[in-house]
Amino acid sequence: MKKPVMGIMGGTFDPIHNGHLIIAETVSNLYNMDKVLFIPSGDPPHKQNLKITEKEDRYEMVKYAIAGNEKFSISRIELDRKGKTYTIDTVKELNDMYPEYEKFFIMGEDAFRQLKTWKDYEKIFSYTNILIVTRSFNMTMDIHKGFDDFCSKIYVTKTPFIEISSTHIREKVEKNQSIRYLVPKEVEDYIKRNKIYINLENSNKNNLVLSDLKNKLKPKRYKHVLGVIEAAKSLSLKWNVDQEKAEIAALFHDFSKNMDFEDMTRYAAENEITFDKIESSNKELMHGRIARDIAYKKYFITDEDILNSIEYHTTGRRGMSKLEKLIFLADYIEPNRSFPGVDKLRDISFKNLDKALIDAIDGTIEHLIQMGEIIHPRTLEARNYLIEELSNQRGG
């Protein structure tokens, strides 16, 4: 009777991608496999110098990727083994577990070329065949030259050349580029949800937001945001405010500035954001609140002070925090602004924060009057409060 056939798909799977899946599916059909076992590696000896993603994450991603294919399954034998994982131990163990199966260890050409460096590589053939698949556009059928003793155990199969690698996917995620259609949707979502491959320390999250902003905003507006970041940084140094917080608030303050009115209204409805009567007819007054929501939900900014600074940067409000004041002002005096009196205001900003803020609010109010626009009461409250405070300071 014919033996059942099993494919063994070993890999770091950091992350698993459609190349792995297409290969596994292709050979499982060609060789009438009854089962393909995916085995994420534990601590692979040939990747010692590289930083590898947490094994449970790699395991989860494989699990998601193969779900729904009844021939595919996953094994933890390498993940749960202590110390370095060697393929020889794995195939030996599999042979004990599945003695009745004819086995094919599936490898890309690139992996096969390294085979002679693997521990006890010759012994591997006592437990399994090796099935080599295409990993370049010009794979030749004599790739196993030099393995004469094992010829009967080596199968070379031309499979579709799929130019996808995990390395490439990690790089794309780090650069905030799309990996859609390169990995299954569930894997893509898992990577996003768990923020895998985003190197927060050096690529830093701010760069990701900036590249998002560049796509969303008109060039002039994007330049303005860079100006506000710069101004917020210098003001934060002067006024002893956390520079990182100032930078983040500045980065997000105009996030939704170029959204149109319909999109804003829809976003607000979908996200249960309510606006008062004045706000709801004026997109200028809506954009800060929406930017706050996006920063919170999409970029996981949870610091209340940062979020308030984003929300109130247009109107100001009674009892603004130092960070809120600073962002309001930075928006007003950033280097690209050129209205008459801006240099004087820049000067005051570095001498008296409250005085500068009152001047900026006055400027806003005058502008609104000239334009015949409604003045939001929060702006008037902000002004009144600051004047009270200033006179209290003087009085006391």
Tokens of 57: 């994450």
Residue that is written with structure tokens 């110390």 in the block: 83
Instruction: Pick out residues in 16-35 that bind ligand ATP (CB under 6 A).
Output: 19-20, 23
Does the CA dihedral 138-140-141-145 come out positive or negative? negative
Residue that is written with structure tokens 């405010």 in the block: 241
Min. distance of Cβ 83 from ligand ATP in angstroms? 20
Does 288 sit near ligand ATP (CB under 6 A)?
A: no
State the pairing for strand pair 5-11/35-40: parallel
**Looking at 106-114, 116-124, 184-192, 382-390, which segment touches ligand ATP (CB under 6 A)?**
106-114
Binder among 77, 164, 368, 375 for ligand ATP (CB under 6 A): 164
Q: With beta carbons less than 8 A apart as the criterion, state whether 324 and 285 touch.
A: no
Give the 3-state secondary structure of residue 265. Answer: helix
| Burial of residue 182 (number of CB atoms within 10 Å: 0-12, 13-18, 19+) | buried
Does 135 sit near ligand ATP (CB under 6 A)?
A: yes
Name, in order, each residue with C-beta under 8 angstroms of 10's C-beta and a sequence gap of 6 or more: 39, 41, 78, 87, 90, 105, 106, 107
Does 167 sit near ligand ATP (CB under 6 A)?
A: yes
Q: Which residue is nearest to ligand ATP (CB)?
A: 108
Min. distance of Cβ 247 from ligand ATP in angstroms? 33
Min. distance of Cβ 47 from ligand ATP in angstroms? 7
Min. distance of Cβ 165 from ligand ATP in angstroms? 4
Min. distance of Cβ 169 from ligand ATP in angstroms? 8
Does 107 sit near ligand ATP (CB under 6 A)?
A: yes
**Looking at 108-116, 183-191, 351-359, 385-393, which segment touches ligand ATP (CB under 6 A)?**
108-116
Q: With beta carbons less than 8 A apart as the criterion, state whether 3 and 104 touch.
A: no
Q: Which of residues 111 and 360 has its CB atom nearest to ligand ATP in the complex?
A: 111
Cα–Cα separations (whole angstroms), residue 60 to 66, 172, 230, 305, 355 = 10, 20, 42, 36, 56
Q: Which of residues 108 and 184 has its CB atom nearest to ligand ATP in the complex?
A: 108
Which positions touch ligand ATP (CB under 6 A)?
11-14, 19-20, 23, 107-108, 110-111, 133, 135, 162, 164-167
